């Protein structure tokens, strides 16, 4: 049974969060993070001041309607009547979060309509919306921090971890992704989906590398974003270790999450405070230093501080891929929907990858930033595994089209992935070639080419 939001939490109540709704629906949600930049310099726009991202959010509220969401006194998001949320990341990037839909084509249509409206609003402030894998012209030293109270606490936390957390602030400020949120319908369905998704995530990351610039220069890797995640507290990031079990249960996930330290909590006075390097299980047993006990709100907050490639909550959030450029954004959810929502494809993908251990998946994830498609899982290149995952995803989408669950256009969303795998040229490779070639290393040309 779920406890009240502010009531002391019991161990036997932790599983309530993972109870499938029982309606059998498999919906699709999209989250797209985009840089908001000066079109000439490519630098991220500030939060405050005339024409900053705060003004852009206010314009969103005026245009779309809806509820202003605040972090203390700070305006950080707008929830529209349609269920769409437009929010700010710690480094001033804007995130579009869709309302859930029953089919992918509708989700993509909603995305296009909203993103293009956002881009038009941004133009009115002299700004450009640029999706991708990171904010390419800033460095951590000149990040456009949004003054969220939690942000300063998280940077302190990562700083206290030494090398293990040294790139956490860079992820907060500069990393961008395109994420897909999918449903599970039962405990057994959860196990089948999560094990495949966890095993496939390093391969998917290698297929979508797209953050080769940082501070306006080549970063020396194909995915600076994936590289930075490697030093953002590995205890809560990357490969979900319980996920590759044949039959992971919600209880298995809860047991793992109890062992992860909580970073911060919101206290009764509304302030965020660091917890210290203590696992949530320890806090559940002994309480917080101020004598209070964890509540349901603390539990959900703790799970929001877990950033594994597959994040398990009431839904499955797939986070491995760098964000593509705007025209190719649908490729990410198309791959995941095709692999996840067609059981034969899901089981075949698991059979392809099931032999690989957590350590093997982590080794691949560590190779992906520099090698992309040439990274290996075991003895097999990511490019080769990607071809088979792409085939299975097409099979899955085609089956959904035949069943009337999708429109035929969704099969076209995978074409950019097919081109990557056929040519061996990733999105990142193209960026680097254009940066030294047609762009002449000019941020304005980059922004003009990649803005929405």
What is residue 2's predicted lDDT score, i.e. its pLDDT?
56
pLDDT tens digits, residue range 186-227? 999 999 999 999 999 999 999 999 999 999 999 999 999 999
What is residue 22's predicted lDDT score, i.e. its pLDDT?
80
What is residue 131's predicted lDDT score, i.e. its pLDDT?
99
What is residue 4's predicted lDDT score, i.e. its pLDDT?
60
- The domain limits of the chain are 11-450
To the nearest whole percent, how much of the chain has pLDDT over 70? Answer: 99
Q: How far from the centroid of its chain's Cα atoms is residue 54's Cα?
A: 22
Residue 432 has pLDDT above 60, yes or no: yes
Three-state DSSP at 25 gives coil
Task: Please state the φ and ψ torsions of residue 233, each to the nearest 5 degrees.
Answer: 65, 85
Supply the mean pLDDT for the chain: 97
Q: What is the dihedral of CA 389, 390, 391, 395, to 10 degrees?
A: 100
pLDDT tens digits, residue range 130-146? 999 999 999 999 999 99
Q: Summarize the confidence of residues 37-52 as an average pLDDT.
A: 97
pLDDT tens digits, residue range 299-325? 999 999 999 999 999 999 999 999 999
Tokens standing for residue 251: 């209880």
Task: Please state the φ and ψ torsions of residue 330, each to the nearest 5 degrees.
Answer: -60, -15
pLDDT tens digits, residue range 95-121? 999 999 999 999 999 999 999 999 999
What is residue 1's predicted lDDT score, i.e. its pLDDT?
47
Model pTM greater than 0.95?
yes
Q: Summarize the confidence of residues 49-62 as an average pLDDT.
A: 96
CATH number of the 11-450 domain? 3.30.590.20
How far is it, in rounded angstroms, from Cα 250 to Cα 116?
39
pLDDT tens digits, residue range 368-412? 999 999 999 999 999 999 999 999 999 999 999 999 999 999 999
* Phi-psi domain of 441 (left: phi exceeds 0; alpha: psi -120 through 50; beta: other): left
Residues forming a β-bridge with 446: none
How far is it, in rounded angstroms, from Cα 275 to Cα 272?
9
């Amino acid at each position: 049974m779920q406890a009240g939001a502010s009531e002391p939490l019991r161990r036997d109540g932790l599983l309530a969060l993972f109870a499938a709704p029982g309606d059998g629906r498999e919906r699709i949600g999209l989250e797209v993070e985009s840089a908001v930049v000066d079109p000439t310099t490519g630098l991220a726009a500030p939060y405050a001041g005339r024409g900053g991202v705060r003004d852009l959010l206010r314009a969103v509220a005026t245009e779309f309607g809806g509820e202003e969401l605040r972090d203390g006194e700070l305006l950080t998001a707008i929830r529209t009547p349609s269920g769409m949320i437009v929010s700010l990341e710690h480094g001033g990037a804007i995130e579009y979060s869709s309302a859930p839909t029953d089919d992918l084509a509708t989700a993509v249509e909603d995305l296009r309509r909203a993103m293009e409206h956002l881009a038009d609003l941004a133009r009115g402030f002299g700004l450009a919306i640029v999706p991708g894998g990171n904010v390419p012209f800033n460095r951590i030293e000149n990040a456009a921090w949004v003054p969220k109270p939690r942000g300063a606490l998280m940077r302190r936390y990562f700083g206290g971890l030494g090398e293990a957390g040294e790139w956490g602030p860079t992820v907060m400020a500069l990393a961008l992704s395109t994420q897909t949120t999918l449903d599970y319908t039962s405990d057994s369905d959860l196990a089948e989906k999560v094990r495949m998704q966890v095993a496939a995530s390093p391969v998917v990351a290698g297929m979508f590398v797209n953050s080769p610039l940082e501070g306006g220069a080549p970063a020396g890797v194909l995915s600076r974003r994936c590289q930075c995640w490697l030093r953002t507290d590995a205890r809560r990031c990357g490969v979900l270790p319980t996920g590759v079990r044949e039959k992971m249960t919600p209880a298995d996930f809860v047991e793992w999450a109890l062992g992860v330290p909580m970073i911060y909590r919101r206290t009764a006075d509304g302030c965020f405070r660091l917890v210290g390097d203590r696992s949530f299980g320890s806090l559940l047993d002994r309480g917080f230093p101020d004598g209070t006990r964890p509540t349901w709100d603390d539990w959900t907050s703790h799970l929001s501080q877990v950033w594994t490639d597959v994040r398990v909550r009431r839904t499955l959030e797939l986070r491995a891929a760098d964000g593509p450029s705007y025209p190719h954004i649908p490729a990410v959810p198309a791959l995941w929907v095709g692999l996840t929502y067609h059981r034969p494809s899901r089981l075949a993908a698991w059979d392809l990858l099931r032999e690989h251990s957590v350590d093997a998946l982590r080794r691949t994830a560590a190779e992906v930033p520099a090698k992309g498609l040439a990274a290996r899982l075991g003895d097999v290149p990511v490019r080769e595994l990607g071809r088979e995952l792409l085939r299975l995803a097409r099979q899955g989408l085609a089956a959904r089209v035949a069943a009337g669950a999708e429109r035929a256009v969704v099969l076209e969303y995978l074409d950019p992935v097919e081109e990557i795998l056929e040519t061996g040229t990733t999105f990142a490779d193209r960026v680097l070639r254009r940066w030294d070639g047609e762009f002449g290393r000019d941020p304005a040309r980059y922004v003009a080419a990649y803005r929405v």
